Amino acid sequence: MKGPTLSTEAYKQQTKSLVISPKRGVIYDTNGKILAKSTSVSTISVNPGKILYSNDKAVPNELLAEKFAELFKLKYDDVLKDLSSESSVVTIAKKVNLDKSEELKNWMSENKISTGINIDEDTKRSYPYHSLSAHLIGFCGSDNQGLEGLESEWDSTLSGTSGRIVTTTDVRHNIISDESEQYVPAENGSDIYLTIDVNIQTTVEKYLKQAVNENKADSGIAIIMNPTNGDILSMANYPTFDLNTPFTPNTKELKKTWNKLSEEDQAKKIYAMWRNPAVSNGYEPGSTFKIITSAIAIEEGLVGTDSDTFTCGGYTTVAGRKIHCWAKASHGTLTVRQALEKSCNPAFVQIGKRIGINRFYKYLDSFGLRGNTGAKVAGEASGYFRDKNNCSAIDLAPMSFGQRFTITPLQLITTVSSIVNDGKLMQPRIVYKTVNSDTKVSNNLEPVEIRQAISEETSAKMRSMLESVVSEGTGGYASITGYTIGGKSGTSEPPGGKESEGYVASFISVAPIDNPQVVCLVILKHPKNGKHHGGTIAAPVTSQILSEVLPYLGISSNEKSNKEKDIISLNDVIGKKYSEAVKILEKSGFTVVNESNTDNYIVSSQYPKAGISLEKNSIICLYDENTDTKTVKVPNLKGLTLSEAKKKLKELNLNIEIDGSGKVISQDISEGTKVEEGTIISITLRSSGGGQ
């Protein structure tokens, strides 16, 4: 009478459906270096009350709890409570490394435990570079689903499709092999290849962190784009966080107060930590936006670069209100080129007036500033501008020099890239290729040209003016020996009522200006070390970054520095007697420092290492096998002359590498960092620069 019902119940009881998890795709940088990968792990679960020895005798919960707690670093009482559950299945530990699951298997075998403990295959996402490009890459949850960044935005590509096995089990839940088994294979996720270059990203993050710390800024953002195809070579934010432990507070200040925060406030802080300011946070770009205002006016034939003139008396009046120049003094009569060089606000208010509201907004849309860039990154925001119909002359005035509206850093660098790239607006590209991990079939994502935003003629004029800003104007600190650099500084003040948000200092560099290959934007938010002008504190950072990035990309300099005549390759003297090593090194033009207590020994190590190129008279430290390398703290060299910097470093047995002339504006190793004696400190000197 109950045959059909019992048969159905028996089928449910005897049938087991196993999910086959697909392998998540790998994220690579442009050179094929792994940024995110999945590794095999195990999930440990139990069937409470059905954990039996091979003689069908029940295994004591106390014994199990003790072993699980020891093996997986769990609390004994919590595990014991789980083992006493009435649930059919209880998960004990997730994402267990294979060595731990293998240890559990051996323990079960030794104790002859035959059933009730399940060890299922799983995967865990790991990030070999930890915090590198963390905000862009993002991370996955415990179920391997993308939660933030590219892991979320490209989740459907990376995740693949689950497979399934439907089979029959006995009373002990052991699988019974029979012909009724159904098998649907999993489809693994595809791999994605980024335009990000790990080597460039590492350089950018190093100098961005240094700039934030030295200027006591709240945070910093840096992006490098190839203007010809829209490729993002680097996108960095600081402070950053470790992708392998994304729920751990990322700053000392946050760690100190973490336990005092409510759960709601903790959640807010964590979400803020994950947020990618380079694409998600709008900001007032300040004077960097004068590039765009200039391009509009020139494109519309409203001004000539060196013919039309404007007057700065220290301020200008719009609708009865005074708008002051940042310099707090009169610039006098200026051409458009000179107005850009000096970053004169009154001149740009007058240029903006010529443009007018309708034309201004037409170009905002042409450059895509009122939408988003379409970069296919998570959380991208759009620019925010006052509605055109509600925009008046007093609104347009500050907008003409980059205030009282917001755009994202990604929008700004995309627009400036179009202005120097013969007017072609390119869609930012982060992912350039996907590869099916099973079939190895690749799908190339070609660069996308959105539109011709301005003419080639206007673009050429803008490149010429941007070069003048660096060679003659407020961008002097962005110059790089041997390269023609263009750029523009920016300093935006906080709006009324939000003074606590502080200034935003920025600089955008273009190199080489005659054939742009890279555009670099650096933003420092709320610097509190006494200086806040973009030309003073952000321009040197772009110079530091591009001084390393341009040679790395194979972009050769157009002149050789005189110092190359005095560059010497360091000899290898390890294994030689100290007296012999001194003769060899001094003959080559080096100064030797004996770090040992005797001069009768065989050299076991030298610093710097052999093969490196050094200036004549550089210091070489020699050690015997019983002497540890000596360390010193790097001094602050900023503001010193070359002779002063050399003297200070020589006193600490440190070497120097020089770029430029004038006074030191930056150093590659921060003040207070401990380094070995003999370390090379690279310094950049400039004789002029700074400003808004």
Tell me if residue 346 falls in helix, strand or coil.
Answer: helix
Dihedral pair phi/psi, residue 107, rounded to 5° = -65, -40
> How many domains does one find in the chain?
3
The residue-averaged pLDDT of 558-572 equals 69
Tokens 């406030």 correspond to: 265
Tell me if residue 358 falls in helix, strand or coil.
Answer: helix
Q: Which helix (H) or strand (E) holds 520?
A: strand 518-525
Say whether both 626 and 681 belong to one domain.
yes
Last residue of a domain, one of 528, 552, 576: 552
Q: What is the CATH number of the domain that holds 92?
A: 3.90.1310.10
Cis check for the bond before 495: say yes or no (omega within 30 of 0). Answer: no
- Is residue 163 included in any domain, yes or no? yes
Q: What is the CATH number of the domain that holds 672?
A: 3.30.10.20
The residue-averaged pLDDT of 113-130 equals 89
Say whether both 609 and 680 belong to one domain.
yes
Alpha carbon distance, N-terminus to C-terminus of the chain? 90
Say whether both 398 and 528 belong to one domain.
yes
Q: CB within 8 A of 408, min separation 6: which ones?
A: 278, 279, 280, 281, 282, 283, 372, 380, 381, 382, 383
SS3 assignment for 571-610: CCCCCCEHHHHHHHHHHHCCEEEECCCCCCCECCEEECCC
Q: What is the CATH number of the domain that holds 534?
A: 3.40.710.10
Give the 3-state secondary structure percentages of the chain, helix then strand then coil, rounded to 5.
35, 25, 40
The residue-averaged pLDDT of 277-291 equals 97
Amino acid at 539: A
Helices (H) then strands (E): counts for the chain: 21, 34
Say whether both 585 and 663 belong to one domain.
yes
Say whether both 597 and 505 belong to one domain.
no
pLDDT band at 562 (very low <50, low <70, confident <90, very high): very low
Amino acid at 319: A
Say whether both 398 and 541 belong to one domain.
yes
Evaluate if residue 371 carries a pLDDT over 70. yes
The residue-averaged pLDDT of 109-136 equals 91
Residue 165: per-residue pLDDT: 59
Exposure string for 209-220, b = 16+ CB within 10 A, e = fewer: bbbbebbebebb
How far is 645 from 649, CA to CA, in rounded Å?
Answer: 6
For residue 441, what is the DSSP state?
-
**Tokens coding 326:** 């940042």
Domain that holds residue 55: 3-129+158-194
- Is residue 269 included in any domain, yes or no? no
DSSP E strands in 400-516: the ranges are 424-426, 431-435, 442-444, 449-452, 486-492, 504-511
- Is residue 215 included in any domain, yes or no? no
**Tokens coding 97:** 């490394």
Say whether both 399 and 285 belong to one domain.
yes
Say whether both 544 and 570 belong to one domain.
no
How far is 23 from 121, CA to CA, in rounded Å?
Answer: 11
- Is residue 263 included in any domain, yes or no? no
Tokens 């092999």 correspond to: 177
**Tokens coding 214:** 């030295």
pLDDT band at 175 (very low <50, low <70, confident <90, very high): low
C-alpha angle 384-389-392 in degrees, rounded to nearest 5: 85
Q: How is 96-129 classified by DSSP, letter by letter?
A: EEHHHHHHHHHHHHHTTEEESEEEEEEEEEE-TT
pLDDT band at 651 (very low <50, low <70, confident <90, very high): very high
Say whether both 623 and 498 belong to one domain.
no
Say whether both 533 and 587 belong to one domain.
no
Residue 561: per-residue pLDDT: 47
- Is residue 256 included in any domain, yes or no? no
Sign of CA dihedral 266, 270, 271, 275: positive
**Tokens coding 401:** 């020099």
Say whether both 495 and 579 belong to one domain.
no
Other Cβ atoms closer than 10 A to 207: 26
- Which pLDDT tens digit goes with each residue over 189-210? 999 999 999 999 999 999 999 9
Evaluate if residue 686 carries a pLDDT over 90. no
Tell me if residue 216 falls in helix, strand or coil.
Answer: coil
Determine contact, residues 528/217, Cβ cutoff 8 Å: yes
Last residue of a domain, one of 552, 570, 585: 552
Amino acid at 679: T
Dihedral pair phi/psi, residue 27, rounded to 5° = -105, 125
DSSP E strands in 413-473: the ranges are 424-426, 431-435, 442-444, 449-452
How far is 418 from 421, CA to CA, in rounded Å?
Answer: 5
Other Cβ atoms closer than 10 A to 406: 17
Going by C-alpha positions, the residue among 373, 369, 125, 138 that lies closest to residue 237 is 138
**Tokens coding 317:** 């009046």
**Percentage, residues of the chain above pLDDT 90:** 75
Residue 184: per-residue pLDDT: 67
Residue 95: per-residue pLDDT: 84
How far is 190 from 23, CA to CA, in rounded Å?
Answer: 9
| Residues forming beta bridges with residue 341, ordered by sequence position | none
Say whether both 527 and 599 belong to one domain.
no
- Which pLDDT tens digit goes with each residue over 568-612? 899 999 999 999 999 999 999 999 999 998 989 999 999 999 998
Q: CB within 8 A of 373, min separation 6: which ones?
A: 380, 410, 411, 414, 427, 428
Least confident of 327-331, 415-419, 523-527, 590-594: 327-331
- Is residue 136 included in any domain, yes or no? no
Last residue of a domain, one of 552, 572, 592: 552
**Tokens coding 8:** 């159905």
- Is residue 201 included in any domain, yes or no? no
Evaluate if residue 426 carries a pLDDT over 90. yes
- Is residue 581 included in any domain, yes or no? yes
Going by C-alpha positions, the residue among 627, 619, 585, 629 that lies closest to residue 602 is 627
